[in-house]
Chain A
């Protein structure tokens, strides 16, 4: 008995000592429950890692309830089309690596960063970091990389050995390879196949296998010509059949494709309207392909000339020069039969052994981009047995794939399993016990910055997403405790909840403002239409830069945000405050001196009057009603001198009214509010000017998806839209303005290839077109006067690149086609059941950190009942 009591006493003392320990240290002591997480239980430190994990109650459930407006029907990683659909797959899947928060347990590699300020590369399905095996792979497959490749092309990834699908299928490197074979199978024509092999992060050899043995049209002829852009048809060779080829590839017109011309349905839609078109259509094979010969090429050139309003290509050439004869290359494709190849000898994505995957990329990669984008190419894993059962071929020969379109065809290898999928109604997930991450003590844990305890990253045990299209219904559900979050939507929401303790504000990459057309041809065409009374109306003034300048200072951006979009923030540049130019430092472009100076220059801020550039930038409002009046007067004078408007009665006021059409996809409260705000601001700014009471903005008829084209084509004059690009590549964002192919909103009236820009680089003034600068900045060498310029990543100092970027941003601003007004953002109320580890938004990777729960589901139900009994609804 004494022995028993002694033992009992010893145990009690031991537990007492343990309970007194400081659990914030990684000293292996058993922690004390912090108490802020009801249902947590402690476990002794037995993981040998120097810290103990505060476990969540294994019996409790923590359910995240979400409301969505659209429930996608296909989340197959090989075939999904809408980018948002892949969110359904995310719960079921896992990656080789992930970029996650940098806490004390997972510091940022390479540089000393405070926890929760940067990011960390976390191996997930990989067993460790990747190894560069470029030299080794190059020796065996020199065709996969350039001759001078020494590093960064081929990487070896060790895989964990405890990876399984929920079906029990064991995941090895061969499973990845089999998945790639399915993805690239030429018969299946998977929508996402090109993602796997295309571009700098693509997998070497993927395209060859995907097109193996098929006759395929590749890019447009013009897109293949590089610096020359077009090839002289005189350099085409002629086959025995009389058809043209260039470097062994056929020159092919697809009558069903509009090519770069944006012709819906291609030239087939012009059938019967011109003999040339009819001859081309008659010459098409059953796939709609026309192999151009001399006669057919002439027909195509003539047809293009007719679209421009000329009788023939010869007439067109008088005005357009040589371009008239080569413009067809923007519509015609290269066609070729790709040689038959087998996967194993062709594709740089293979298994070295059971648990080692080798990936060979099209370009040399390392660091952030390797782990962020490169290894993301491996997110194609499918369960082979289920996948095979989902493939069906119909009698026309077309293959369909039902993998990941229902609960039964969605085997998970990620943290959650799909437990219910009801079309257009609900999708539900529950904890997938076979996922290694639930038991991983190394990479799926974090040290809480508030209490110092170590918790598992995933606390949510169940996820339910209901389709709730109406935001009013969503709000009622949220206030009834049935939703875990609610994105503020109506203006009343902002008024009511803008100061809520439960509000999370997240910025967004989308940056934009009011776009105003400069499409003079489009405006003149509208005036030429029947019924347009030039004595009473005018549209041409809308296209004047002087008019745009007046508009630019007519709007109080802060008032716009307050009255129309409380979830947005004010913006004065082309590139928003989210874009990071140096991922190692997480340095933001907008915070650079170059970017600040560009704004100050554009908004005419005298920086000498301020202590620093920050103060100078802070002084920018973009709103100057007095200056606006002068600018409207200047626009009036210019328009008057050009004969666009008149002042017949010499009263100093414009005789015509100017009605600007606001391009709208569909009517909405927000569109109405935007237009009302713009009209009200213009009315104020034009008071006392010749345009007083003469300018108004009206909403277009609902244009659905055509609202962008309407603006681009000149049938609408303005709209508010934002542009976003890769958050980690601000240098590429300006493509929407300066790349003729990407500038779909302005390329009909702004030619960035002839708009010259001079930038001083290292003391030397260099002049080239805005497009050339943009290309050089993004790594495409530009040769001028025998000298080649390349300011791409790894080709120029980052300071030089920033200087060019800022200069180009200034150039875009000076065009006055896009008048900056706002940056996108969101404001979301978070349920009282949950909280985020961080109080403030950290960065695009961390955001607010992991989610934790204050109440188990059972406790939450009780809490909600109490609150409703007391207040009628939850209080936020």
Chain B
């Protein structure tokens, strides 16, 4: 298992390097915005591009970039979106609101989603199951931004329970900030709850009808004991990767939800960086997401072994 983990980690680093190189070269190959010939600023921009090394060979530019990252953890400065500011600082500034909103969301979507799924599975083919399943299908079918507008209109504008947009400031864990985040958390959660609910119900329904569950009951376990100790554990082989997937989503943010509730998060950062050809911001965010994706995938793979003892890796036949 340890050998497997080490080997996967090394592969991960290699993949990370290749993806970074590809992204770096591809983004730098995009032609820079044409400069209007009559604009009096054209000359200054050309001088600036020259000074920043935009005319150097791509591999030389990549080498300069790597040297900065590895020697000083310097990811460069933003040139277009946040002129002159270190991109790492910008990224770290925008990460907390995205993470916190999504963390609040996932903190209650997992238990609620899985709980409803268990309930539906245990009460299969009853009105409870039908209600939960129908609602799940409805919720999954509607995009989250629709909930966002509904939540905003009903709970914020009409009922005035919450502010219409997220509060300004960096007091991330103050009661006022928490209250202002609730509408966004709600909008983000409906779809995720429905997703967990549907997966859990489907998996648990299948597991509950397995022969080993009958065996467990015949061994004297109560239905609750059998469900918790055996059925749920089997279900988690499918559910846990979903949770990690959500975790990656946490860091990625939601462009639309962030826009509607004015959350200054990372949702649109990569997109904006590409559109404005802010190379350093793009590379920073790309590297970050690549790393998170690779680590999450590694963790998922390794976690299988802990969740389900039948899945063991690293041993050779």
Contact = CB atoms under 8 A, between A and B. Distances in A.
A517 interface: no
A868 B160 contact: yes
Interface string B20-42: 00000000000111110110110
B66 interface: no
By size class, the interface of chain A is 35 or more
B44 A468 contact: no
B55 interface: yes
Given A398-B51, A480-B157, A425 B262 contact: yes
Given A194-B43, A473-B164, A476-B152, A402 B84 contact: yes
Given A400-B77, A402-B85, A423-B93, A482 B164 contact: yes
B51 A257 contact: no
Contacts of B49: 256
A265 B31 contact: yes
B262 A216 contact: no
Contact of A254 (B46, B81, B82, B158): B46
Given A264-B34, A466-B165, A872-B158, 12 more contacts: A73-B78, A194-B41, A260-B37, A286-B55, A396-B64, A398-B48, A400-B83, A422-B168, A423-B94, A468-B262, A469-B259, A476-B156
A472 B32 contact: no
Interface of A: 73-74, 76, 79, 81, 189-195, 198-199, 216-218, 220, 254, 256-260, 262-265, 269, 286-288, 390, 394, 396-402, 405-406, 420, 422-426, 428, 464, 466-470, 472-473, 476-477, 479-480, 482, 704-705, 741-742, 868, 872-873
Contacts of B10: none
Nearest to B74: A394
Interface string B139-157: 0000000000100110011
Contacts of A473: 152, 164-165, 260, 262
B47 interface: yes
A425 B84 contact: no
A872 B157 CA distance: 9
Give the secondary structure class of A's interface.
loop
B78 to A, nearest CB: 8
A76 B149 CA distance: 36
A264 B56 CA distance: 17
Contacts of A479: 157
A401 B43 contact: no
A74 B84 contact: yes
B84 A466 contact: no
A193 B47 CA distance: 12
Contacts of A195: 40-41
Interface of B: 31-35, 37-38, 40-41, 43-53, 55-56, 64, 77-78, 81-85, 90, 93-94, 149, 152-153, 156-158, 160, 164-166, 168-170, 259-260, 262, 264, 275
Contacts, number: 146
A216 B47 contact: yes
Nearest to B264: A425
Contacts of A191: 41, 44-45, 48
Nearest to A211: B43
A192 to B, nearest CB: 8
A439 B85 CA distance: 37
A254 B45 CA distance: 13
Given A74-B83, A256-B55, A473-B260, A468 B40 contact: no
B170 A422 contact: yes
Given A398-B52, A482-B164, A73 B81 contact: yes
Contacts of A476: 152-153, 156-157, 164
B195 to A, nearest CB: 25
Nearest to B53: A396
Contacts of B157: 476, 479-480, 873
Given A425-B262, A473-B165, A194 B40 contact: yes
Contacts of A425: 166, 168, 262, 264
18 contacts: A73-B83, A194-B40, A260-B37, A262-B34, A287-B55, A398-B52, A400-B84, A426-B168, A426-B169, A464-B168, A466-B262, A467-B264, A468-B262, A469-B262, A473-B262, A477-B164, A705-B33, A873-B157
A87 to B, nearest CB: 16
A254 B160 CA distance: 60
Nearest to A397: B51
Contact of B262 (A406, A428, A467, A472): A467
Nearest to B38: A741
A665 to B, nearest CB: 12
A470 B40 contact: no
Given A401-B84, A468-B262, A428 B153 contact: no
Nearest to A85: B83
Contacts of A74: 82-84
A257 B168 CA distance: 43
A744 to B, nearest CB: 8
B31 A217 contact: no
Given A216-B43, A423-B94, A466-B262, A477 B165 contact: yes
